Amino acid sequence: MEYEYTVIDKTGKRITSLMKAESTAAVASSLRNAGGKPLKITPTKIKKPSNSFEDFLSSNNKRVTNKELVVFTRQLGTVLMAGVLLTEAIETIADDMENKYFASVLQNVIFRINGGDSFSNALDYHPKVFSPYYVAVVSSGEAIGRLGETIGKMAGFMEEDEKMRLKFLAAVRYPIFLVSFVFCIVSGIVLFLIPRFKVIFEGAGIQLPLLTRIVVAISEFSLHYFVLIIAGGILIAFGIYQALQVFKIRFMVDYLLLQIPIIGKIIHKAIIARFCQTLAMLLEGGVGIIAALSLSSKVVGNVFLKSIIEDTSRNVVGGASLSEAMNAHEDMPRILVKMVAVGEKAGMLSSMLKRVGDYYDQEVETFLNNINSILEPIFIIIIGSVVMVVALALYLPIFQMSSTAH
């Protein structure tokens, strides 16, 4: 269970933060053992009454964004390399933070370090903020005595990862806008324009062309069952979400996703790039190959590829080299297998993995930069086709009425 506490630490500073423990007594004991004086301990599951809009906002702001974590990591690496003590460096950064939740987490980290915990162990108490990968890299930096340098390298990796994520979001934002635009146009035509023309056609008493009858039928169905259509869409979305929680279904969907022409290959390359760079970072920091493979698999969002990496890890545990274990799977790129084999022979495995990751990153970045120029004409054709079909459906009866009048 998680508890929120207020304590006065060894230096006399008042700190409010969070701790996971079995009971209130366990929290108090832990705080006293670290040299603190507990003032207040409250289970976080007990919601406090909110009397203001600010209280509501603060209660819903207990999260740390990727950007905030990247900025913190870069600042910490820079300050540590300048020779500042760890606790002073963290406290200086925490004092300037706008995110009060993140600042309270860092104050708890400082408190634990002052109580005798290592930096990595203190971070490990906050898995929602610091991932197992993050903790492992910090632990490796502590082990080799180059914490500032290690955190600086991790910050560089995280910055590149964040840039790629933002480029991906920018690439999909335009198609999403176009799809939404088409949906709004079609909805406006179906719900408002076609019903007005229908009244005109009924008054004329003519036999409507097949295309017009189809469009009018779609319009009438949408008007009569609008609420059911929206509810059905929500239910379908919820059903898909629930189905994806089942491992076998998620495994199949992730496998099929990689088989999509062009898009599947790009997704595959992006995942392999992230895996290679993460593995290279961990190996360079001194993490063992087995632990590094286990941690690297956790950054792979695709269940199918994750299962391949986990099987690769099991084969390495069984005595196979990394290249041999990778070579057993056809979905591992051949260039990756060859580069890993060369790296193992030359004793430059982490360097080779980073090169492969950078190579695939460059290919993905080039695709993302060009995707809008590829998709734009496709969406223009789709929009034009929709408008043309509707225009024909509406104007064919008008032409028929005109010829009948003559």
Q: What tens digit of pLDDT does each residue of 131-189 get?
A: 888 888 888 888 778 888 888 888 888 888 888 888 888 777 877 887 788 788 777 87
How high is the pLDDT of residue 52?
Answer: 41
How far apart are alpha carbons 148 and 204 in whole angstroms?
Answer: 82
Domain boundaries, the chain: 2-130, 162-406
What integer pLDDT is reported at residue 221 of this predicted model? 87
- The answer to whether 397 and 209 have CB atoms below 8 angstroms apart is yes
Residues 75 and 98: their CA atoms lie apart, in Å, by 15
pLDDT score of 55: 41
Cβ neighbours of residue 344 closer than 8 Å, sequence gap 6 or more? 321, 322, 323
Strand bridging mode 2-8 / 14-20: antiparallel
Q: How far apart are CA 30 and CA 24, in angstroms?
A: 10
φ and ψ at 212, to 5 degrees?
Answer: -65, -40
The H-or-E segment that residue 35 falls in is none
pLDDT of residue 195: 81
Angle between helices 100-114 and 66-81 (to 10 degrees): 40
Any residues with CB less than 8 A from the CB of 199 and at least 6 apart, and which?
A: none
> How far apart are the C-alpha atoms of 71 and 96, rounded to whole Å?
12
Give the Cβ contact number of residue 11 at 10 Å: 10
Token pair in block for residue 118:
């290592």
| CA–CA dist 168, 173 (Å, integer) | 9
Q: Which phi and psi (to 5°) does residue 16 adopt?
A: -120, 125
DSSP state at residue 118? -
φ, ψ of residue 379 in degrees (nearest 5): -70, -35
Q: What's the one-letter identity of residue 59?
A: S
Ranges of residues in the chain with a pLDDT under 70 are: 1, 44-61, 204-205, 403-406
Distance from C-alpha of 303 to C-alpha of 325, rounded to nearest angstrom = 18
Q: Is CATH 1.20.81 what the domain over 2-130 is classified as, yes or no? A: yes
Cα gap 92→96, rounded to integer Å = 7
Whole-number pLDDT of residue 82? 86
Mutual orientation of helices 66-81 and 147-188 as an angle, nearest 10°?
160
**CATH number assigned to the domain with residue range 162-406, chosen from the 4 options 3.40.47.10, 3.90.1200.10, 1.20.81.30, 1.10.10.10:** 1.20.81.30
Contact (Cβ atoms closer than 8 angstroms) between residue 283 and residue 350: yes
Please say whether the beta carbons of 204 and 397 come within 8 A. Answer: yes
Q: Is 37 strand, coil or helix?
A: strand
The domains spanning 2-130 and 162-406 adopt the same CATH topology = yes
The DSSP code for 15 is E
For the CA atoms of the chain, what is the radius of gyration?
Answer: 29
Can you give the pLDDT at residue 56? 39
Residue 14, SS3? strand
Encoded tokens for 395: 């104007």
Cα(123)–Cα(86) distance, integer angstroms: 13
| 244 three-state secondary structure | coil
| Residue partners of 251: CB distance under 8 A and separation at least 6 | 303, 304, 307
pTM (whole model) above 0.85: no
State pLDDT tens for residues 192-250. Answer: 877 887 777 777 667 778 888 888 888 888 888 888 988 998 999 999 999 988 989 99
What 3-state DSSP class applies to 6? strand
Output the 3-class SS for 169-229: HHHHHHHHHHHHHHHHHHHHHHHHHHHHHHHHHHHHCCCCCHHHHHHHHHHHHHHHCHHHH
Q: Which amino acid is at 320?
A: A
Predicted local distance difference test score (pLDDT) of residue 58: 44
Please list the residues that pair with 304 across neighbouring strands: none
